[in-house]
Each structure stands twice: as structure tokens, then as C-alpha cells.
Chain A
């Protein structure tokens, strides 16, 4: 690996070739919002929050390799606006009424919205009528809160090695599925390790209490 030099928000910085832009930027103390990215699993490039401007064009920093001479800007007016709009889209897609959500107050998505200054949604709420899956003895899946970041899919496949989760359908009707669209509780591949529940950034996957009231993931 060789050392490379790039410009980050007007300052010359160095990184190693082969590193992602996101890693280099974070190493230099600049904070970039991310949702689908998670250290330790493969990148997806789906949420688009981590987009930065490289030589005048926007690119997702988590899936872009840093290279010599890049001119990177992380917080242009446009980027700040776009990140907020992306947040609005995620909130409009399904049902995010935080006040009645198990994850209220512990939610990465909610915190990110607050952090990015998203205080209202200007788009139509799509409010699809999606089911919940409470068939698993320890965990619950609520599709209405899922943002399809696929952290659960990747952690289950790459870390646990079970590949219980996948995505079915395409576009706006995509959904997370356990195995070949089984009820989670009947999944022959799930080892009940709980990794997916741990990594879910929303209230889509949560731990059911033993008393069955489903009162939230452990903090």
C-alpha cells in the first residue's frame, strides 16, 4: 500500500491507497453521515447519505476508493440539502411515527434525522400496509419501519454465516425475507444469534421481551 495525497475540504491530507474514501475522511476527523455502512461487513452503497463531492461530481464515499489527487468536499450546501432530502424520502417510504415506535429514543435513523436537521417531510407519506412477523421466539420484525439498508442481510451472511435474510421483490415493493419467505420463527437456517437485531438501525428488528410485550431492544 502506498501513501496517497488528496485534498479534503481545502486541506491536504494523506491516506493509503486501497482505503475507501469514507475511511480516509473519518480518519481525519470529518464526520460523514452513514446508514447502510457498518464496520466489519461489506459495503452496499444504498442509503447515499455518505455522498461527497469528488472533483465536482457526487459519489458515495463508502464504495469509492481513495486515489491520488482527489479534491473532496464533504459539506457543500448541495450535499447538506440532498442528505436532508434523502432522509425525508426514507421517512416518507414507510411508517415512522416515532411516538408509537419501540425504538423511540434509541433509534439510529431517528438520531440521524435530528442530526441532519430534518424537521419535516415534504413528500407524500406512502404508508404501505405491511405486516409484522412475530413468529420468532425472541425477536420481532416490523416491515413498516424497515429502510432496506440490508445490514441484517449482510451481517447474517458474512458474520454469522447463516444467510437467513435476503431481499425479495424490487423497487418500492422490496421486502426483507427470511429464507424462502418463511415466517422467521420457522426459519431452518436462523441460529437465533441476534446479530441482525443488534445491527438494525431502526425499529424494524427488535427483541421481544419474555413477557411478550415487545418493549424494545436492549440499549
Chain B
């Protein structure tokens, strides 16, 4: 296929869609599936057939629309009119929706989400631009929305160096957590002397509650393939790997879908040998992890791709120097890749105009917890937490009050109410003792106990530690034990000291990011909610009422006895004086 043929496909698909009376997109991403969207899809199709509208109306399954907590979501695209989006769609309501748009009398205003709802109005969808708006699998749908034109442009009109420069100029930083400048990474791999190089997408995404990456991969897979090919061209690689997490329900099905998507891109000459009739070749293969959090760490991930035990190894050498099988390897997060096509199409300057001085562009968050509207959102960097939680999220559920926002999952921390007005970007989050992370954002209300939250994440780290280095393998377990003592009422203030000391040590001595960041949830809750820890210990009382104080402290007699004797003596002398 060449550029003209690509253009033709786009034109034909747009014409085809334009001729339809309307198109119904039924959300088939994981959260909506679990709230019953399969039956909704079936009913939509059946109703269309019953009404004899098969020729004029199309029903397709789409990716995530964002408002996952109100699923199943159905979107209706009417030519030359704004989309109508419906929430809480049941099979009955699905039938009504079809009737309503077919011109019959049906009352569905209750389920219609107003077009100006702050949940949508305040977002800026760059990475998620197609998500929920296109058919997940049909390549024509993606091409109709300008798909693969960025690749065609890059192959014909840009040198690899110019591509890297554009990414550098855009200010894009890695979305996998650490925020490393993406352009710089691409330059490093491009300049590394080697005749074989690789491109790897990190879609391990093991943080509890996070589902940004897999949703992107599900909802708009071609965008990722296109970005990988662009990256391959820019750094001089001819092979890419998508590393997907395995070992959870539905992984299998998604893998097959991804496989089909890659095959269809290959059949269209957009991947494989001689991409778009150029001299550039690029193959993409899928690699499945076994569902360990540590597989997301880049060195462990590469070992897993090579078929070895996924245990991190010390860096340097960085993957850009020595990666897969010793060759320079470009490794980026899914969302990082999701930004590439818009940057190429709209220009680096446009991208650099979004966000804050040091954090450019947008960020996708999985907004969850005690908010009214949870789901997958995308906002410009620098938006305040207050706007995210109270405008987009619609405030705290059940009229309770906001207590903290947990960002960055097990590597992050909790941000208290007094910092609600700080902007969300890499630097400010770090200054507050949390991290931006990959995009988990859990909102906690006053019924959450901060010790309990810290304990939850520490337990996660104990489970997920690979076991290679002592501070992480044993340290996380001992920190968990201390937290357990605090929450069951058997801790003394000395245990708190031991915990804090351990946190610092594990942070500084662990081999990889998992151990280095494992103490963060404890350190950040101690920093902002120390009084809550002290209430547990000194008063044996859990302010949030979550912890059951059914143990008693074991006094350390070596320390405690002399202190008691002194106190007694002081009391006696006081009496004497009196």
C-alpha cells in the first residue's frame, strides 16, 4: 500500500459512515463488560434488525468512553451532530435508544449524559482521542480518522534525526512513572552504534486499580502500532515487542484481538516488510508476562522477553545501551507511545503548548475511590487536584468529606486536603512526597484509615517483591509487620521509630524501583497524617474506625523498666517536696 491508497481507504470509510443514518458504539472495554455490556450490544443489534434498519444503522463495539463507573456506556454518532452518550444502559434502555434515534417516541433522557457535563467538558483528550469513538478492531475506522498518515509523513518527509528532535522539542516525558524525557531516550538509542535494535512497549501495568494502558491498547490499538513503527524508523529498529501482562481474566481474549490487529496492519502493508512502499521494515510481536508487578521494571521486563526469570538487574547499562540480547533497546510506556502520533500530526509546538513548564501534554488517570464519577480521564498537566476530584469526579460520594488522594499506587503516596490546589505535574507531586506514577488516582474519604492504606500497599509490595535483594525481600515484610502491630494496637512508639528507620534504609539500599519506592506510602502518610499513627499507638484508637485494636503492646522491658523506675522516683521526690 502506498500513501494514495491509504488516503483512498480513509475517504471511502468516511463516505460509508456518512451515509448511515446513525452509528451505535457499544462500549466493550473491561469495566463496561463487567457491568453487562455484552447483553446491551446484543439487544442493540437485535433491535436494529427488528426495526429493519440494518442497511442504515451500524452497531459496533468500541473501546472505553471514560465514564466507566456509570457503565455500560453507549455512544450514538449522528452525522453532522454531536454524539449522544448514554450511561447505565440496560438491555431495555438499549432498545429504547435505538427507537429514539430511529424517530420513534422513547424516553431516555434520564440516561443521556449532558454534552456539557464537567466530566467531559473539563477533559482534554489527546491520547484517548479515538477511544470510544472508533470500532476497536476495524483498521478502516482508524484510517478514516487520519490513522497511519503520521507514519506515512515520517517515512517520506522526515529523517530519523528530525523525528527524535520533534519528540524532544515537544517536551514529552515518559508516562511509565519516572518521567524521563522521551526525546532524549530516542536520541540515545538512535545514536547507539549497532546494526540491530529493538523497540519495546511496556504494557505490564501491575499497579492495583490502574487500567490506563490496557484500555488504550484495547480501545485504540492501531495508534500504538503506528507509534511503534515511527519509533522504529526514528531509532533504526526493525523489530518491536508489545509486552502485555498475562494471568488475569480476559487476558487471553485481548491477546487474540491484538494479534488480529497486527495481522490486519500487516495485510494492509502498514507493518512488516517495506512499510507503505518504503525501504523501512518493521515487525511487531507480542510477549506475554505472567502477571508479576516487577515485570514492569524495564530490566526485568527485558529478561522476561528473553525467556528468563524476571528479576531486575542493576543499571547501568541502561536498555538504550544494552537491552534485549545485548542490543540497544528503546523501551517506553503505552501512554508515552500514545502521544507520538498527535505530536507528529499537530507539531511539537502545539504539544509543548499544553501543560506546565516542565511537564508538557496531558495525563491519563484512572480516577477511582470515593468520587461520584469514576473512570478513565485525561487532563492537561498542571490541572489542580481539586478540579480533577470535584469538577470531573463530581466530588465525594455520599456527602462525605475528602481526606486524601492516593497517586502512584504502591510507589506513590497520599496527598491531603490542604494540598488540593497544587497542580498535578511531575515536580509538584514529588515535592508533596508522592509521585505522578503511571496514573492511578484513588480518592479517599474520612472513613479511610491512613495506617490501613499504608498497610494495604505494603502488603502488595511484600507479595510482589522479586526476592533478589535483602532490603526489599525481608524489609518490606518487616515494615508490614510493624504496620500490622500499629493497626492491631500492639505497637509502641519505639516500633514507629524502627519503622521509619527501616523505610529510609529500604529506600536507599534496594536494587530496583520496587524496593526503592515501597516505603513511599508509609513515608507520605507519616508526613501528612502522623497524628493518626500516634493515635493508634498512644491512645490505641483508630480515628477512622477501620482498625480493630484487639492486641496489647508488648513492652520492651529493657527500655521500659528504667523509664518507669525513673518516673516513679520523680513522683516520690515530688511528693516529698510537697
What residues of chain A have their CB less than 8 Å away from a CB belonging to chain B?
44-48, 51, 58, 60, 63-65, 81-82, 85-86, 89-90, 92-93, 122-124, 126, 147-148, 166-167, 169-174
Contacts and interface: CB of A to CB of B under 8 A. Distances in A.
Contacts of A126: 474, 477
Interface stretch (B266-274, B335-343, B465-473): B465-473
A65 B476 CA distance: 28
A85 B508 CA distance: 12
A123 B474 CA distance: 10
A126 B316 CA distance: 34
19 contacts: A44-B468, A45-B469, A47-B469, A48-B469, A85-B505, A89-B471, A90-B474, A93-B473, A123-B478, A124-B481, A126-B477, A167-B309, A169-B467, A170-B464, A170-B466, A171-B467, A171-B473, A172-B476, A174-B473
B11 interface: no
Given A89-B474, A171-B462, A171-B466, 19 more contacts: A44-B468, A45-B511, A47-B469, A47-B470, A48-B511, A60-B314, A81-B505, A82-B508, A85-B502, A92-B474, A126-B477, A147-B470, A167-B309, A170-B466, A171-B476, A172-B462, A172-B465, A172-B474, A174-B473
B463 interface: yes
Contacts of A81: 505
B478 A89 contact: yes
Contacts of A86: 470-471, 505, 509
B477 A172 contact: yes
Contacts of A92: 474, 478
B473 A58 contact: no
A170 B465 contact: yes
B504 to A, nearest CB: 9
Interface in B440-463: 462-463
Contacts of B552: none
B292 interface: yes
Contacts of B505: 81-82, 85-86
Interface in B310-340: 313-314, 316
B121 interface: no
Contact of A48 (B313, B462, B470): B470
A170 B478 contact: no
A79 B569 CA distance: 39
B478 A124 contact: yes
Contacts of A45: 313-314, 468-469, 511
A53 to B, nearest CB: 10
Contacts, number: 90
A197 B314 CA distance: 27
Nearest to B472: A171
A172 B473 contact: yes
Nearest to B498: A122
B501 interface: yes
Contacts of B309: 166-167
Contacts of B502: 85, 123
Interface residues of B, number: 31
A48 B292 CA distance: 23
Contacts of B475: 89
A171 B476 CA distance: 9
Contacts of B462: 171-172
A122 B500 CA distance: 13
A89 to B, nearest CB: 4
User: Looking at chain B's contact residues, is the secondary structure mostly helix, strand, loop, or mixed?
Assistant: helix
Nearest to B485: A124
Contacts of B316: 65
Interface of B: 292, 294, 309, 313-314, 316, 462-471, 473-478, 481, 498, 501-502, 505, 508-511
Contacts of B470: 46-48, 86, 89-90, 93, 147
Contacts of B465: 170-172
Contacts of B481: 123-124
A174 B467 contact: yes
Among the interface residues A64, A81, A124, which one has the most CB atoms of the partner chain B within 10 A?
A: A124
A91 to B, nearest CB: 10
Nearest to B495: A122
A150 to B, nearest CB: 9
Contacts of A147: 470
Contacts of B478: 89, 92, 123-124
A124 B470 CA distance: 15
Contacts of A170: 292, 294, 464-467
Contact of B314 (A63, A89, A148, A172): A63
B137 to A, nearest CB: 35
B476 to A, nearest CB: 8
A216 B476 CA distance: 33
Contacts of B501: 85
Contacts of A166: 309
B329 to A, nearest CB: 20
A126 B292 CA distance: 24
A65 B498 CA distance: 33
B249 to A, nearest CB: 21
Contacts of A63: 314
A93 B478 CA distance: 9
Contacts of A85: 501-502, 505
Contacts of A64: 314
Among the interface residues A47, A65, A123, A170, which one has the most CB atoms of the partner chain B within 10 A?
A: A170
Contact of B467 (A47, A60, A82, A148): A148
B485 to A, nearest CB: 9
A82 B468 contact: no
Nearest to B474: A89
Contacts of B467: 148, 167, 169-174
A58 B469 contact: no
B493 to A, nearest CB: 14
Among the interface residues A48, A60, A167, which one has the most CB atoms of the partner chain B within 10 A?
A: A48
Nearest to B317: A65
Contacts of A174: 467, 473
Nearest to A63: B314
A194 to B, nearest CB: 25
B283 to A, nearest CB: 32
A147 B473 CA distance: 11
A172 B477 CA distance: 7
A113 to B, nearest CB: 13
A82 B509 contact: yes
